[in-house]
Chains A and B, each alone.
Chain A
Amino acid sequence: DVQLVESGGGLVQPGGSLRLSCTASGFTFSRYWMHWVRQAPGKGLVWLSIIKLDGVTAEYADSVKGRFTISRDNAKNTVYLQMNSLKDEDTAVYYCARFEGLGGSPGDWGQGTLVTVSA
């Protein structure tokens, strides 16, 4: 079975940093683009970032560009989101997702990990 499992969430102070991980199983990870999406409490979904197969090509939403960095380790079947200079408004559930790739359009989501930015 396909699984995307996020980890690394927690409580962090404003201005702090956190690194989220999303470990994949059940498919050939290196063949798919990977996304990060977040959802603040009671709010809608917000797309954050994508990383392509080469692990170098990445794009970001304006709201996180320059503060967040996406990366992947195909040997570990893991995609990361390094989050720096965190703000209160970054408080959200963070999801990784697999929407497209060489193998098609799978549409999978992880279960999410909660990040709380608070003093």
Chain B
Amino acid sequence: QAVVTQEPSLTVSPGGTVTLTCGSSTGAVTSGHYPYWFQQKPGQVPMSLIYDIHNKYSWTPGRFSGSLLGGKAALTLSGAQPEDEADYYCLLSYTANRRVFGGGTKLTVL
């Protein structure tokens, strides 16, 4: 089973920009991995943010964007707000539609 890697923790200043990445042990992340991104705040159900690399849901704040960057999936937060402090998880798709979550990135807005 593939291993999906994320930064364990990142810090961003209020109003600042930060990029979270999502790598795969099998090689470069491509469109064929259909990357998803999720946000989870303490004690809450995960919330879907991004699907298929860069597509947003109707509820996804405009300051979040997804991309492929340097062989990884990336989630960029531009203009961080205090309420963006949360854990962020990526999800990649592999053969036969098996999925693997990354270990998550704890984002601190400070």
Contacts and interface: CB of A to CB of B under 8 A. Distances in A.
Interface of A: 33, 35, 37, 44-47, 50, 52, 59-62, 95, 99-100, 105, 107-112
Given A60-B98, A95-B46, A109-B46, 4 more contacts: A50-B99, A100-B51, A108-B48, A111-B45
B45 A62 contact: no
Given A61-B1, A99-B36, A109-B45, A44 B100 contact: no
Contacts of A60: 98
B101 interface: yes
Q: What band does the interface of chain B fall in when counting residues whose beta carbon is under 8 Å from A?
A: 20 to 34
A45 B89 contact: yes
Interface of B: 1, 36, 38, 40, 45-48, 51-52, 55, 57, 87, 89, 91, 96-104
B97 A59 contact: yes
B40 A45 contact: yes
B99 A47 contact: yes
B103 to A, nearest CB: 5
B1 to A, nearest CB: 5
